[in-house]
Amino acid sequence: MATCSSTGTNFPIVAATMLLFGLLMASLDTIGAQTGVCYGMNGNDLPTQQEVVDLYKSKSIPSMRLYDPNQAALQALSGSNIELMLGVPNDALQGIATSTSTANDWVQNNVVTYSSTVKFKYIAVGNEVSPVNGNSQYVDYVLPAMQNIHSAIASASLQITVTTAIDTGLLGTSYPPSQGAFGDDVRSYIDPIISFLAENSAPLLANVYPYFSYKDNTGSISLSYALFTSSSVVVTDEYSGLGYQNLFDAMVDALYSALEKAGGSNLAIVISESGWPSSGGTDTTVENAKTYNTNLVQHVKSGTPKKSTSLETYVFAMFDENEKSPEEEKHWGLFTPDQQAKYEISFT
């Protein structure tokens, strides 16, 4: 065994080793911070699925969120090396929750069939299901559907993380961030899901939209705070002492605090949707959309005041979708349906 002498003979080796370790950690952090884009299809003028996948590749977008198992999209993803978050749509939850054979068939047809050529990363079982937001008919089916999909994935000898996507409307308290807590009226729903995720070392997916918080509170939230452009701390959490320079961090840290209070202190969060519309609403300009999304992609690499680990994030959305409503819902795309970028944004 070599020993270090007082002359420092081995110091260059130690220093080089530490440097390599630091570079490796930085590399791993960058991988964790990768930012993908959500691919919605609620439009009658969108490109073909193969054209969409080709666009992802040409723009070096590393990951995609797909809201349902569209077969043409799955076929187009074959061999693409794009990591995929695949959704189980809300209207499929009941059948999958109440029948293991239905769950097995869903996994066989939509995952196993493509698993040798498509890089599945997550199965998102349900999107923004909540006891309080108007789709409460699905509440009883989310967890059993997650359990059945998880079992079917395991039976197929695949390693794909099963989780679900929530919105911040589940928070009963969100300000200041350290006091974030899920509402009492949703705890019976979300707590067992948190336990399932913790047991399986899976992250919670969260759709986080500073735009809507800003739109509903323009009198108390500044545009710069919402767009990541404040030059100094805007909000200081009196309980934690942490300072917040942007609304996104405050919202995510409120979720972390809520998870801690619900027994999920070790859960990671993946931002499964975030973005800013370019028309149709309050301060919805192309310039503001560019500012928000460009800053988002860079900002999530460094995490939040509460947790400095990088945040895997999916920008919403790839295209404008003309079949959505109200008007502002039509204009979230990074690209127009003819595949033209509204503004330059880099994902590398």
- From 83, 128, 328, 329, active-site residue: 128
Question: Which among 273, 312, 321, 329 is annotated as catalytic?
Answer: 273
**Torsion sign over Cα 23, 24, 25, 28:** positive
| Eight-state DSSP code of residue 46 | P
DSSP 60-85: T--EEEESS--HHHHHHHTTS--EEE
Amino acid at 93: L
Compute the distance between CA of residue 327 and CA of residue 323 in angstroms, rounded to an integer: 10
What one-letter code names the amino acid at 172? G
Collapsing DSSP to helix, strand or coil, 144 comes out as helix
In contact, 128 and 86? CB cutoff 8 Å: no
Q: Is 128 a catalytic residue?
A: yes
* Cα distance between residue 223 and residue 268, in whole Å: 28
Which residues, in sequence order, are bridge partners of residue 35?
A: 313
Taking each helix axis from N to C end, the angle separating 100-110 and 139-155, rounded to the nearest 10 degrees, works out to 60
Residue 331, phi then psi, degrees to nearest 5: -125, 40
SS3 9: coil
Q: Distance (Å, rounded) from C-alpha 311 to C-alpha 267?
A: 12
Whether 328 is a known active-site residue: answer no
Q: What is the DSSP string of 303-341?
A: --SS--S---EEES-SB--TT-SSGGGG---SB-TTS-B
Q: Indicate which residues carry an active-site annotation.
A: 128, 273
